[in-house]
Structure 1
Amino acid sequence: MTTPHPLLRTAEITPENVDAALGVRVREDQNAFVAPVVRSLAEAYASRATAWPRLILDGDGAVGFVMANFAPGEEDPDFRCGIWRLNIAEGAQRRGYGRFAVGAVVEEARRRGNRRLTVMWVPGEGSPEDFYLGLGFRPTGRVVEGEAVAEMLLD
């Protein structure tokens, strides 16, 4: 995978970088489509057995946050392996960081033996639908709590 910058990487959230993670803020008009990082970290703590939160770093700078869920025992297949959150900082958008973050989740999903990755979004103007479809996700036709469900098969 080609990265926008040779120092681009994911990092576990630690006491040393939690403030950087909390500083990742999307554009104001995107707040209707993605929860802030602080909420994601609270959910990750509450679901620590299955949540996979990661800071996206370019060099020493935080440019984004991604959180996936890996719950192989989950009854609903749409919640076994999926992207829960993707926040790319307002000033860092449209530079390949989101694509990199999704790629990191795909790599982790494959490493764990998953063959299917899901993502959900709130439909509407300004939603991330086109971004995810452009990466190869396909709509399943399901809607869960008002969010469209899409999948990517990991062959």
Structure 2
Amino acid sequence: MTAERALEEITPENVDEALAIEVRADQRHAVSPVAKSLAEAYAFDQRAWPRLIRHQGQAVGFVMAFFDFDFNYNKIGAEPDLRSGLWRLNIAAAHQGRGHGRFAVAAVAAELRRRGTTRLTTTWHVGDGSPESFYLGLGFRPTGEMSDDERVGELRL
């Protein structure tokens, strides 16, 4: 990670900065707010990895990874399908288009590699305001699956 950008664990000292991260108004339908992500991180405990994204000391975004999450958790009788990857990516509206999202995805990929994972899974909204071109540009490939109304993609590490 560069000295210019860093990921920071969410703590009592920076939680308000994380909660203040808001994407553009036209993107709000496609990504949950940080408050929901932090509630999910609490509920899923060790499977969630929430981090504040800083650039030159300023909070510019939020990223949350997941580890060994069962993609079939809500399918009765289905075999477990454990995956790890990118759960949320929120870049503050005023800081988009400056490489912060690319940095965050690379940092999640590095953490997954460190943990011995060989693929990074994520989902994205399709349709208006979709971040699909962002993810495809990073090398993600659609798996052909949908998770609710979101396309599932993976990046081989």
* Structures share fold, TM-score greater than 0.5: yes
What stretches of structure 1 move > 3 A for 4+ residues in a row? none
User: In 2, Cα distance between the equivalents of 1:41 and 1:91?
Assistant: 22
Query: Which residue number in structure 1 is paired with residue 42 of structure 2?
Result: 45
Give the number of aligned pairs. 149
Q: Which runs of 5+ in 2 are unaligned?
A: 72-79
User: In 2, Cα distance between the equivalents of 1:73 and 1:102?
Assistant: 21
Task: Using the aligned pairs only, state the percent identity.
Answer: 59
Q: Does 1:54 align with 2:51?
A: yes
2:86 aligned to 83, 86, 100, which one? 83
Q: Which amino acid aligns with 1:55?
A: L
1:59, CA displacement in angstroms? 2.2
User: In 1, Cα distance between the equivalents of 2:60 and 2:69?
Assistant: 29
Query: Which residue number in structure 1 is paired with residue 139 of structure 2?
Result: 136
Compared CA separation, residues 72 and 45, structure 1 to 2 (3 A): closer
Report SS of the residue matched to 2:46: coil
Compared CA separation, residues 146 and 113, structure 1 to 2 (3 A): same
1:36, CA displacement in angstroms? 0.3
Compared CA separation, residues 152 and 39, structure 1 to 2 (3 A): same
Q: Which amino acid aligns with 1:76?
A: D
Q: Deviations over 1:67-88 (max 9, x none)?
A: 01011777214xx111110000
1:100 aligned to 89, 98, 103, which one? 103
Within a 5 Å distance, the mapping from 1:1-155 to structure 2 comes to 6-71=3-68, 75-77=80-82, 80-154=83-157
User: In 2, Cα distance between the equivalents of 1:87 and 1:81?
Assistant: 18
Q: Which amino acid aligns with 1:122?
A: H
Q: TM-score, normalised by structure 2?
A: 0.91
Q: Deviations over 1:23-77 (max 9, x none)?
A: 1100010001000000000000001121000000012210000001011777214
Q: Which runs of 5+ in 1 are unaligned?
A: none
Q: TM-score, normalised by structure 1?
A: 0.92
Provide the alpha-carbon RMSD of the alignment.
Answer: 1.4
User: In 2, Cα distance between the equivalents of 1:32 and 1:82?
Assistant: 21
Q: Which amino acid aligns with 2:133?
A: D
1:122, CA displacement in angstroms? 1.6
Q: Which amino acid aligns with 1:124?
A: G
